Structure 1
Amino acid sequence: MSFFEALILGLVQGLTEFLPISSSAHVQIAQQLMNLSELSKPQLTAFIATIQLGTELAVVSYFIKDIGRIGSSWLRWSVKPSSKMTSDTKLGWLIIIGTLPVLIFGLAFRDFIENDVRNLWVIAYTLIGFGVLLGLADFFGRKTKSITELNFSHGMAFGLGQALALVPGVSRSGGTITVGLMLGYTRQAAARYSFLLAIPAVLGSGLFQFFASVGDLSQDLLVATVVATIVSGVVGLSVIHYLLKYLQKGSFLPFVIWRVGVGVWLLVMLTSGALTA
């Protein structure tokens, strides 16, 4: 892998991790287009796991004040429970509850997810199918509820949406935001809770994958990997900021069009033999 190819993958990871278009899909497509055949599967896995740490640190950095406030409120209530929870304590419990589905399904179906559904045919269909679902949810959703109106059943529903994203092409933010819109939350509220919900799940799985595979990183890849990780983090941080700002007035239609367009293009490329699954 050249230095330039590493930077491209870092850029793709940073641009797509927090948009509802599936980072895993776009990184896998980029790998195919660049034909990184000189890398072994363990080396490529280690590289991807490392650059994902950049975006994981980006979301933690962006929401660090929220994390501190929610975490301290939750800890205070846990040490000395009272009948009435503050909104931050409740949000802490909602994040824990919403993390359970991805934890359970991720452990139960790990081999199936990593070996049987991680191919471009699956990605093409999930990009299109869940893109259409996002569009319908955005069009028909009432978009009136704020994040303070979250309840425990809705928190679990968001969590199930996140668990769906274990299948490549669904998109973690796409799955959770779609559920949020279906439940009547505003675009910004759905996106904000989606990002907060991602922190324990994404950081936990990311660190697990990193430590499990970092030994496969070769010395000649080290500098490129570090730079690509920094790029993914800086770009990811910018994407979070501008997406939340955009969603104050903008819709998810551009992302729906992108998902469907990439999915259709991918089907054409696979059918013609220009790409292999």
Structure 2
Amino acid sequence: MSVFEAILLALIQGLTEFLPISSSAHLILPSQLFGWDDQGLAFDVAVHAGSLIAVVGYFRHEVKSLLQAWLASLGGQHSGESRLAWTVIVATIPAVIVGLCCSSLIEGYLRSIWVIATTTLLFAPLLWWSDRFCKGDRDEYSVGWHQSVILGLAQALALIPGTSRSGITITAGLMLGLTRQAAARYSFLMSIPVIMLATANRTMALASSSESADWGILLLGAFLAAVSAYLCIHYFLKLIDRIGMTPFVIYRALLGIGLFAFGWSQL
């Protein structure tokens, strides 16, 4: 992997991981357009670690508060923070189950440009509809057990490439009556255990493989992914109430059409 490839792929990962536009749809483009080889497991671990550092760093105060409240709840001291922490844990379970049971299916059959183009287009109008007609006035602390399961199932659905984890979970959050801010914040909090588990899983796979590592490239990728993801989260939350989801819906529609056009041109 060249330095240019590492920079581009790390920025793509960081900028698209937390926006409702699908990181997998974007990560397929460089290899398809430029004929690049797969970035490899080591680089995948590095940029996901960077994304994890970004989201934990941005929500460091909330993460500390939720962790302390969750530990206190084990001793019988319950609060709004402990309830939120438990619902995030519950929302993580569906994605873990689906990921363990269906990883071979997803990797083997669902990473084609046709699947990614279809899901990129399919979930765009659903995001627009939920943002236009469903947003409510509830915050993330109001999420209950049944709603956390629904949000968890949405997150599991995002394992299909092109769906967008943040896109489908924000859509579900809006449909459940959360504000834009609350839906986005809950989506980002949900991402922490999922990215953590995915990174750990890839790290174990890397440890058992014979893949060599260029530590300079890996550190560069992790750094750029972390910085770009942090800035992305910050400005997304800052602007979301003003711009809504329509710009991302339009972008997804154009991207999906572009992917279909590119796929047909290769037939």
Q: Give the TM-score normalised by the residue count of structure 2.
A: 0.95
Preserved contact between residue 47 and residue 217 of structure 1 (Cα < 8 Å): no
Tell me, yes or no, if structure 1 residue 88 matches structure 2 residue 81: yes
1:197 maps to amino acid: M
> SS where residue 74 of structure 2 aligns?
helix
Where does 1:130-145 land on structure 2 (aligned, <5 Å)?
130-145=123-138
Which segments of 5 or more consecutive residues in structure 2 lack a partner in the other structure? none
Alignment match of 2:259 (pick from 262, 266, 275): 266
> SS where residue 249 of structure 1 aligns?
helix
Where does 1:98-113 land on structure 2 (aligned, <5 Å)?
98-113=91-106
Preserved contact between residue 50 and residue 210 of structure 1 (Cα < 8 Å): no
Tell me, yes or no, if structure 1 residue 253 matches structure 2 residue 243: no
Tell me, yes or no, if structure 1 residue 34 matches structure 2 residue 34: yes
The residue that corresponds to 2:221 in the other structure is 228
Q: Deviations over 1:209-267 (max 9, x none)?
A: 13312655435x33122212110100100101111111132201111011110000110
CA distance in 2, matches of 1:67, 1:118: 33
Deviates more, 1:199-208 or 1:26-35: 26-35
Where does 1:178-197 land on structure 2 (aligned, <5 Å)?
178-197=171-190
The residue that corresponds to 1:124 in the other structure is 117
CA distance in 2, matches of 1:44, 1:56: 19
2:17 maps to amino acid: E
Q: Note closer, same or farther for the CA distance 1:34–1:213 as it changes in structure 2 (3 Å cut).
A: farther
Q: Deviations over 1:174-233 (max 9, x none)?
A: 1100101111111110000001011111111112113312655435x3312221211010
Q: Note closer, same or farther for the CA distance 1:138–1:13 as it changes in structure 2 (3 Å cut).
A: same
Query: Between Structure 1 and Structure 2, how many residues are aligned?
Result: 266
Q: Note closer, same or farther for the CA distance 1:151–1:46 as it changes in structure 2 (3 Å cut).
A: same
> SS where residue 186 of structure 2 aligns?
helix
Q: Note closer, same or farther for the CA distance 1:102–1:128 as it changes in structure 2 (3 Å cut).
A: same
The residue that corresponds to 1:66 in the other structure is 62
CA distance in 1, matches of 2:81, 2:185: 14
Q: Give the TM-score normalised by the residue count of structure 1.
A: 0.92
Give the drift of 1:44: 1.9
Alignment match of 2:72 (pick from 76, 89, 92): 76
Preserved contact between residue 70 and residue 91 of structure 1 (Cα < 8 Å): yes
Tell me, yes or no, if structure 1 residue 237 matches structure 2 residue 217: no
Runs of 4+ in 1 over 4 A off after TM superposition: 214-217
Percent of aligned pairs sharing the same letter? 39
Q: Note closer, same or farther for the CA distance 1:216–1:248 as it changes in structure 2 (3 Å cut).
A: farther
> SS where residue 19 of structure 1 aligns?
coil
Tell me, yes or no, if structure 1 residue 48 matches structure 2 residue 27: no
Note the aligned Cα RMSD (angstroms). Answer: 1.5
Preserved contact between residue 135 and residue 180 of structure 2 (Cα < 8 Å): no
Alignment match of 2:191 (pick from 193, 198, 208): 198
Give the drift of 1:152: 1.0
Preserved contact between residue 53 and residue 207 of structure 1 (Cα < 8 Å): no
Which segments of 5 or more consecutive residues in structure 1 lack a partner in the other structure? none
CA distance in 2, matches of 1:62, 1:11: 18
1:121 maps to amino acid: W
CA distance in 2, matches of 1:142, 1:177: 10
Preserved contact between residue 117 and residue 260 of structure 2 (Cα < 8 Å): yes
> SS where residue 118 of structure 1 aligns?
coil
Tell me, yes or no, if structure 1 residue 8 matches structure 2 residue 8: yes
Tell me, yes or no, if structure 1 residue 213 matches structure 2 residue 209: no
> SS where residue 168 of structure 1 aligns?
coil
CA distance in 1, matches of 2:10, 2:34: 13
1:46 maps to amino acid: A
The residue that corresponds to 1:25 in the other structure is 25
